[in-house]
Amino acid sequence: MTIFHGFNISSSALTTQRLRMDVVASNMANVETTRGKFVNGEWQPYQRKMVVIQPNENRFSSHLAKAMGRTDNLGNGVKVSKIVDDQSPFKLVYQPDHPDANAEGFVRLPNIDPLKEMVDMMSATRSYEANVTTLNATKNMLLKALEIGKG
Amino acid sequence: MRIFSNSTQQLLEQSLNAASTRQKTIADNIANVDTPNYKAKKTVFRHQLHNAIEGQQLNAYRTDDRHFEFGGKQNSQAAVVVSRTNSMFNHNGNNVDIEHEMAEMAKNQIYYNALIERLNGRFNSLKTVIGGGK
Amino acid sequence: MERVSYKPNSVMNNIIGNQPIKKLTPAEAQTSFKVALNDALRQVNDAQHASTIATEKLARGEKIDLHNVMITAQKASITLQATVEVRNKVVEAYQEIMRMQV
């Protein structure tokens, strides 16, 4: 692996956490969106989005290393493989005079819990900061290595 | 005198040129982080391209030196700027990933510094030998 | 008072591990100097070669650690400088001897 392997790993983690943060922001913004998608002639509310995070291991080198039984394969960071919809049921609120109320007077609201989103946001922020610290530490180590033999 | 015509010296100089091109590309990407429909660019070094195609190169089996070799002459340019096509787009068509660009910039700086160090080391060794240590 | 008896010289040599100093003939001295010189030059060459390979790996972005590149480079540089200094001293010694009035 190159001298910049640590950088690539941290950078992939930063991208992933920022994407996770974007998803949290999208969920928070759409807490009350009753008209998310138009499906089969009726409006569906916005469905909560979630990210699926996987290790970044689709490269040929990692498969080859596994096949050869080598144990020094550290992996290549993380990536977001897909953004999926949360399939949990929508919230039902009794509001008979809402334009999107159904026959019984219930409105379907998105299945978003603001508290859960806040916890996700804090987790994403802390992960982001931790990865920035890691990247800076790697950078400082390399800069120090450049000073070997001087002074 | 042909003190500086060996392959390592040329590799170092070309790599420095390529690192400089890469810095400009990164600066371009960062400046356009919010431009609609802007596609991020990246700089590919010739040795990266060479590694990628090396496994597929077909060499001619020549029975006489005067026969032609397969493959055209090698591109002497060290770095090629291409569009980054494998990343996700924003709502405005922009695909610049700011963390990636910042990490690339840090990497490029360290790469450039390391190459300068090595180049200095080589020049100093030459001076030691020529000057006899005085 | 006890009598302290001293062991003979050969046993002392075994304890310290010293060989008694052997005198070299001029021919042997020349050969051993030549061997030492060739050895030193070969080491310089090997070190420079290792440093060149490490630098090329760094420039191409291949699998190597940056501190290994720097350490290899420093070793080559110091080996070279040491050998140049030894050469200078040898030349100086030769000139000194040539200056001696017979």
Higher pLDDT, C44 or B2: C44
Rounded average pLDDT over B100-113: 94
Pick from A88, A109, A90, A89: which is nearest to A98 by CA? A109
**Tokens 């943060």 -> residue:** A21
Whether pLDDT at B133 is above 80: no
pLDDT of residue B72: 44
Q: Which is nearest to C61 in space by CA: A49, B117, A2?
A: A2
The complex scores an ipTM of 0.78
Percent of chain C with pLDDT over 70: 82
Please say if the pLDDT value at position B71 is more than 60. Answer: no
CB contact under 8 A, B110 and A8: no
In this prediction, residue B19 carries a pLDDT of 93
Q: Residue C13 pLDDT > 80, yes or no?
A: no
The pTM of the whole model exceeds 0.95: no
* Beta-carbon pairs below 8 A across chains A and B: 32
Tell me how close the Cα of C94 comes to any Cα of chain A, in angstroms.
Answer: 33
* A143 touches C: beta carbon within 8 Å: no
Tell me which residue in A1, A142, A149 faces C66 most closely, judged by beta carbons: A142
Residue whose entry in the numeric block shows the structure tokens 């400009």: B24
Interface test with C, best of B109, B118, B126 (most C CBs within 10 A): B118
Please choose, from the candidates A141, A1, A4, A18, the residue with its C-alpha nearest in 3D space to the C-alpha of residue A79: A18
What residues of C are in contact with residue B133 (Cβ under 8 Å)?
81, 84-85, 88
User: Quick one: tokens of B106?
Assistant: 């840090």
Q: Do C77 and B47 lie within an 8 Å CB cutoff?
A: no
Distance CA A13, CA A54 (A): 11
pLDDT above 90 coverage of chain A, percent: 61
C60 touches chain B (CB under 8 A): yes
Alpha helices in C1-102 (DSSP H): 9-16, 26-60, 66-99
Task: Copy the structure tokens of residue A68.
Answer: 């050869």
CA dihedral A8, A137, B103, C62 (to 10 degrees): -50
Contact by Cβ (8 Å): B8, C52: yes
User: Do the beta carbons of residue A43 and residue A143 sit within 8 Å?
Assistant: no
Q: Which residues of A touch C65 (CB under 8 A)?
A: 3, 145
Amino acid at C55: T
Q: What is the mean pLDDT of residues A78-94?
A: 92
- Count of A-C CB contacts under 8 Å: 25
Q: Name the pairing type of β-strands A37-39 and B79-83.
A: unpaired
**Spatial CB neighbours of A145, under 8 Å, sequence gap ≥ 6:** C65, C66, C67, C70
* pLDDT 10s digits, A41-78: 888 899 999 999 998 876 676 677 677 776 666 778 89
Dihedral sign computed on CA atoms, order A50, A54, A56, A57: negative
Band (C61; pLDDT cuts 50, 70, 90): confident
Q: Does C77 touch chain B (CB under 8 A)?
A: yes
Q: Angle at CA A124, nearest 5°, toward A121 and A126?
A: 110
Q: What interhelical angle do C66-99 and B98-131 show, nearest 10?
A: 10
Q: Does C88 reach chain B within 8 Å, measured CB to CB?
A: yes
A86-121: b (≥16 Cβ within 10 Å) or e: eeeebeeeeeeeeeebeeeebbbbbbbeeeebeebb
Query: Rounded distance, CA A139 to CA C53, Å?
Result: 24
CB contact under 8 A, C81 and B128: yes
pLDDT tens-place string over residues A118-150: 999 999 999 999 999 999 999 999 999 999 988
Chain B hits for C52, Cβ within 8 Å: 8
Decide if B114 and C69 are in contact by the 8 Å CB cutoff. yes
Confidence of residue A87 (pLDDT cuts 50, 70, 90): very high
Please state, rounded to an integer, the average pLDDT across all residues of chain A.
Answer: 89
3-state secondary structure of A83: strand
Q: Which residues of B touch A7 (CB under 8 A)?
A: 103, 106-107
Predicted local distance difference test score (pLDDT) of residue B75: 44
Q: Give contacts of B115 with chain C, Cβ < 8 Å.
A: 58-59
AA letter at B127: K
Say if residue B1's pLDDT is above 90.
no
